[in-house]
């Protein structure tokens, strides 16, 4: 992933619009990228990942990994889809081999990244989805770059 900034802000009023936003985003993804998706239950994190994964060439069934914690889809590269909603602590995350998996060749999608914030790489995409109402969503995508040379803000 190159060291450049990226920020997009959208309002989606339908699944169809979100689908287009997800497809456009998929087109910039590269092997090794990590995508962290934040937003309350039902905001559309899994929906977004499903559309990205389809754009990346996976034509199978995409389900929420809430109970399995990890789904792996095979497209032109491996797509790792995590959901940490049910995880309680870092030990559990270690147990599923999260660190080792991040070393694998592929693209990584993480729902509920709040649970692993400190374990995320120095560079990743953060997607924030907010429910405005009904089928309206605010979607913000930004590249997070945590640079050791820059003093921490907090
Ligand atoms: N504009 C929209 N964008 C995305 N999803 C939408 C939109 N409007 C309605 N939805 C619906 O919202 C739900 C989001 O569910 P899901 O993706 O499982 O949420 P999460 O993973 O954040 O809990 C889906 O049923 C989806 O069809
Ligand atoms: Mg989900």
**Ligand 1 lining (C-beta closer than 6 Å):** 12, 14-15, 18, 39, 41-47, 64, 111, 135, 137
Distance 152 CA to ligand 1 centre (A): 34
Counting residues of the chain whose pLDDT is more than 70, the rounded percentage is 94
What are the pLDDT digits (tens) for 65-90?
Answer: 988 899 999 999 999 999 999 988 88
pLDDT for residue 35 is more than 80: yes
Q: pLDDT-based confidence at 147, cuts 50/70/90?
A: confident
pLDDT (0 to 100) of residue 92:
85
Distance 48 CA to ligand 1 centre (A): 8
Residue count of the chain: 154
What is the residue extent of each domain of the chain? 7-145
What are the pLDDT digits (tens) for 11-25?
Answer: 999 999 999 999 999
Tokens of residue 27, six digits: 């087109």
- Token look-up 């820059």 returns 150
Distance 148 CA to ligand 2 centre (A): 32
Contacts of 22 (CB under 8 A, 6+ apart): 48, 51, 52, 55
Q: Enter the pTM of the model.
A: 0.94
pLDDT (0 to 100) of residue 153:
61
Q: Which fold has domain 7-145?
A: Rossmann fold (3.40.50)
């Amino acid at each position: 992933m190159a060291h450049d900034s990226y920020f997009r802000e959208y309002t989606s009023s339908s699944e169809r619009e979100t689908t287009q936003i997800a497809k456009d985003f998929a087109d910039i993804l590269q092997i090794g990228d990590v995508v962290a998706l934040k937003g309350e239950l039902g905001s559309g994190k899994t929906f977004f990942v499903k559309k990205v994964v389809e754009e990346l060439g996976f034509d199978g069934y995409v389900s929420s990994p809430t109970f399995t914690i990890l789904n792996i889809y095979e497209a032109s590269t491996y797509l790792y889809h995590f959901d940490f909603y049910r995880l309680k602590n870092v030990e559990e995350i270690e147990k599923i081999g999260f660190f080792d998996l991040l070393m694998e060749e592929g693209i990584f999608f993480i729902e509920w990244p709040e649970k692993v914030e400190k374990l995320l790489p120095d560079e990743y995409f953060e997607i924030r989805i907010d429910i405005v109402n009904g089928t309206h969503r605010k979607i913000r995508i930004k590249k997070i770059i945590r640079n050791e040379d820059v003093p921490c803000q907090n």
